Amino acid sequence: MAQPDPHSYYDIAQPRTRHLRLNWRVDFERHEIRGSVTLELEKPCAGPLDLDTKGITVHSARAETDGDVVFSLGDADPILGRRLRLELPQGTTSVTILYTTAPEAIALQWFEPEMTLGKRRPFMYSQCQAIHARTIVPCQDTPYVRVSYSAAVTVPDKLAAVMSAGPAGDRPGEEAATRTFLFEMPQPIPPYLLAIASGDLESRDISPRARVWAEPEMVGRAADEFAEVEQMIETAEQLFGPYEWDRYDMLVLPPAFPFGGMENPRMTFLTPTVIAGDRSLVDVIAHELAHSWTGNLVTNATMDHFWLNEGFTTWAERRILDALHGEEASALRWAIGQNALDESLARFGADSPLTKLRTDLCGVDPDDAFSSIPYEKGARFVTVIERHAGRERFGQFMRKYIRTFRFTSITSEEFIAFLERELPGTAAAVKADAWLYGTGMPSNAPVFKSSRLDTLTAAAEAFAAGRRPTARAVGGWDSDELLVFLQHLPRQLDGESLGWLDRNFRLTERGNYEILVEWLSVAAGSDYEPIFSRVREVLLEVGRMKYLRPLYTALGAHPRTRILAREIYAQGKAGYHSLSRRVIESVMEKYDE
């Protein structure tokens, strides 16, 4: 018995699943999915088959040949959930499990109609990365096992359903007032890319292969905001090779979504906070799109190699934006990333094992290990290799890397072996071991210089010393420039300075959440009462953890803002995703230390 993935009961000696057939009924009253999954196996087999489950009630299991299959559920592990062991009769090629999900299934968030924009219909969506697919389907929930899938999903007939798959038609459901949507996902994906959403959804075409889905009230604004997406796909194809997923559609979720975006293939899931009104947050789209190559085609074998997904994708996202918008602004994007990296290094401590790129997360919940380190340290590692090889040669290397490992899941060590094969001597020259196995930042971390960046950091330093930038200087700043300026200000400012900032930059009214949250964090951390009501509004509206963490942290700085935070949390708790709740609670636990 050997388990190659510390976050799965998958046993490498057992047969792998190659296709899932899902038949789901989405029950908005009971907050559950009921139905069945048929696991089609790679070859006829017999004996034990271990699957991952969490919170799932299994009603029965049947093999296609021999009828009932004996099954047993192991003890519940707080991270992994329960092992479902099936005893397969001789010659089994497929097995069907009837089951029901738990109302508190981590992968699912449910919204009553009044919690949606339209206030007429309920809404639900899934978020399976990293190890939550097992809360909606018993499966080998590890990227080692890639599956194609087909699905029949029945929802109330006023609602639409979308999945990380190609649409294959819809028809009236068997029960009255229901509709069944069919899906086909022919490409093999890791289970964490399984995704579903259902609600009052409308769509708008952006290009022949890209479309945005959202509640009707939002869909027009979303289509405007994401108008550049076809250009992004074409740019990315030039950089990384053909787009292999047919369509690139996007779904705008309710603001409680705990992430910025999730790269579900054929249907990226997005927070509505990326809709700034001026396309200033499309880096999230570039990022999720880039995962179509780095992550969805070439996938991390386990969460210990998560940087292979996020480091490459963060690097790729910036290359796409450089190609589309020019490279002058590039150093600013790297500076914004550096700020996030510094926060994560400070939070964990620079000698924490969680600051390694290649981690050892056995016994650690991937949600607790989440940080900017795999993203930003990872992207810097890729940049060091790129600079060593040269742009041109590295471009070819990347395209070959993707071609070689497409539709497979690989480890950091396999990546290094490939690097050595293709660009001999590079690993040692760039100190790959220090990047992968060392904590903190290696001595050869790349530096991103630009005169714009220097001007902005100087302006922030001058501001801290009491010198205000001139109206002429700030008049031309775009949102990244303003963000860099704000990020370089001291975390505590006096009321006069804060008043000046808000008057001159209209910060409290900003539609760009990166700027808004940076501003509110500084102001809340400075106990600045005029923004308390805006902080409350934002925290009651938005569930994106990237925003909740700094805001709740800033509120911890003063006694009355701590009281405010506890009050807001009590009010907002029911509307937060369970992952968001966990982050907030971990932040507030530190208030009393």
- Is 364 a binding residue for ligand BES by CB under 6 A? The answer is no
3-state SS class at 97: strand
Contact 152, 182 (CB under 8 A): yes
**For residues 339 and 331, what is the distance between their CA atoms, to the nearest angstrom?**
12
* Closest by CA position to 280, among listed 215, 341, 205, 226: 226
Contact 263, 295 (CB under 8 A): yes
Q: What residue 260 binds from Zn ion, ligand BES, none (CB within 5 to 8 A, per partner kind)?
A: ligand BES
Beta strand pairing call for 202-207 and 147-156: unpaired
Q: What residue 430 binds from Zn ion, ligand BES, none (CB within 5 to 8 A, per partner kind)?
A: none
In the bound complex, what is the minimum distance in angstroms from residue 192's beta carbon to ligand BES? 8
CB under 6 A: which stretch of 148-156, 281-289, 466-474, 514-522 binds ligand BES?
Answer: 281-289
List the interface residues with Zn ion, window 311-340 (CB under 5 A): 313
Residue type, 437: Y
Q: Select 152 or 262, whichever has its Cβ closest to ligand BES.
A: 262
Q: What residue 546 binds from Zn ion, ligand BES, none (CB within 5 to 8 A, per partner kind)?
A: ligand BES
Q: Which member of 5, 170, 263, 480 binds ligand BES (CB under 6 A)?
A: 263
3-state SS class at 256: coil
* Closest by CA position to 151, among listed 52, 19, 296: 19
Decide if 375 is catalytic. Answer: yes
List the interface residues with ligand BES, window 372-401 (CB under 6 A): 375
**For residues 330 and 182, what is the distance between their CA atoms, to the nearest angstrom?**
42
Residues 6+ apart with CB under 8 A from 447: none
- Is 546 a binding residue for ligand BES by CB under 6 A? The answer is yes
Q: Which member of 170, 288, 376, 527 binds ligand BES (CB under 6 A)?
A: 288
CB under 6 A: which stretch of 196-204, 256-264, 510-518, 531-539 binds ligand BES?
Answer: 256-264
Paired tokens of 557? 């700085």
Identified catalytic residue from 225, 288, 376, 386: 288
Closest residue to ligand BES in the complex (CB): 260
Identified catalytic residue from 125, 375, 401, 552: 375
Contact 57, 137 (CB under 8 A): no
- Is 129 a binding residue for ligand BES by CB under 6 A? The answer is yes
Q: Select 260 or 525, whichever has its Cβ closest to ligand BES.
A: 260
- Is 284 a binding residue for ligand BES by CB under 6 A? The answer is yes
CB under 6 A: which stretch of 287-295, 456-464, 486-494, 553-561 binds ligand BES?
Answer: 287-295
Radius of gyration of the chain (CA): 24
- Is 283 a binding residue for ligand BES by CB under 6 A? The answer is yes
| DSSP code per residue over 23-85 | EEEEETTTTEEEEEEEEEEEEEEEEEEEEEESSPEEEEEEETTTEE-EEEE-PPBTTTBEEEE
Q: Select 160 or 274, whichever has its Cβ closest to ligand BES.
A: 274
- Is 336 a binding residue for ligand BES by CB under 6 A? The answer is no
**For residues 539 and 528, what is the distance between their CA atoms, to the nearest angstrom?**
16
Instruction: Give the phi and the psi of residue 464 in degrees, each rounded to 5.
Output: -60, -30
* Closest by CA position to 436, among listed 416, 409, 450: 416
- Is 337 a binding residue for ligand BES by CB under 6 A? The answer is no
Q: What residue 284 binds from ligand BES, Zn ion, none (CB within 5 to 8 A, per partner kind)?
A: ligand BES
Decide if 288 is catalytic. Answer: yes
**For residues 176 and 292, what is the distance between their CA atoms, to the nearest angstrom?**
38
- Is 512 a binding residue for ligand BES by CB under 6 A? The answer is no
Q: What are the residues binding Zn ion (CB under 5 A)?
A: 310, 313
Active-site positions read 288, 375
Q: What are the residues binding ligand BES (CB under 6 A)?
A: 129-130, 259-263, 283-284, 287-288, 291, 310, 370, 375, 546
